[in-house]
A and B are shown apart, each in its own frame.
Chain A
Amino acid sequence: MASVTMTVNGKSVSGDVEGRTLMSDFLRNDLRLTGTHIGCDTSQCGACVIHVNGEAVKACTMFAVEADGADVATIEGQANADGSLNVIQQAFQDHHGLQCGFCTPGMVMSAAALLKENPTPTEREVREYLEGNICRCTGYHNIVKAIMAASGQDVSAIAAE
Chain B
Amino acid sequence: MIKMMLSCKDISEVASLAIDETLPWRKRMGMHLHLFICKHCRTYVSQIGFIHRALHHRSDELVHMGLVERTLSVEAKEKIREKLEQQKG
A binds B: no
- B interface with A by C-beta (< 8 Å): none
- A interface with B by C-beta (< 8 Å): none
